[in-house]
Amino acid sequence: MVVNTLQANVRVQRSSVAIITVVVTIAAYARLAALPGSPGTWVAVPFLVALATTDWQVRRLPTPLIYAALASVLVVDSLAAVVAHEGRFLLLGSLGMIVEWAWWRLLKGVYGEQLGWGDVRLGALVGLVIGAWGLLAVLTALFFAMLAASAYGIVKGARYRLPLGTFLIVGALVVILIGPAPFTRVVW
């Protein structure tokens, strides 16, 4: 009886995660369709959603998936720089990647094993994607990520293992849903 109940709960959780994944992806693409911006952002959304759901479920961020996302976004933004002469997305995204990677690397040095390397790598990806809209966009994504993570940590308690990567992606998706307009007025 208890096993059947647990299996039913797992099926409900997986179904909920699948539904949320589809809804978030559609919402992000619907918003991106109305915005000018980095073509790399279009490529990054499915990776970000897959990474968020993976981190939420198993508390791990697969390095090959992060590297595939980084490579994909860099290739697409590089092609846009060459073909469409839109080099600013690549330049600003690269700066955002460096800034956010450095931030999470610093925190990894401070907190040690409490912060995973996947979160540091994911920070680079989020910085690359959101950095195309400027430093203010990167800082706003960090703010929303930390706000959501803090609220979740307060609700769950201090002993609960926090899926930080999921919240980093939530911050990035909030910035994507806001759009670049408020951020592009302020240049790095």
Task: List the chain pLDDT tens, one digit each, 188 residues.
Answer: 544 444 444 455 566 666 776 777 677 766 666 566 678 888 888 889 889 988 988 889 999 999 999 999 999 889 888 887 878 888 999 999 999 999 999 999 998 888 889 999 999 999 999 998 888 989 999 999 999 998 988 888 767 778 899 999 999 988 888 877 777 665 54
Residues 6+ apart with CB under 8 A from 92: 131, 132, 133, 134, 188
- Chain centroid to CA 182: 19
- Contact between 69 and 44 under an 8 Å Cβ cutoff? The reply is yes
Q: How far apart are CA 63 and CA 125, in angstroms?
A: 11
Please identify which residue in the block is written with the tokens 């690269």: 94
When divided into structural domains, the chain yields a total of 1
Domain that holds residue 116: 2-184
Q: How far apart are CA 24 and CA 33, in angstroms?
A: 14
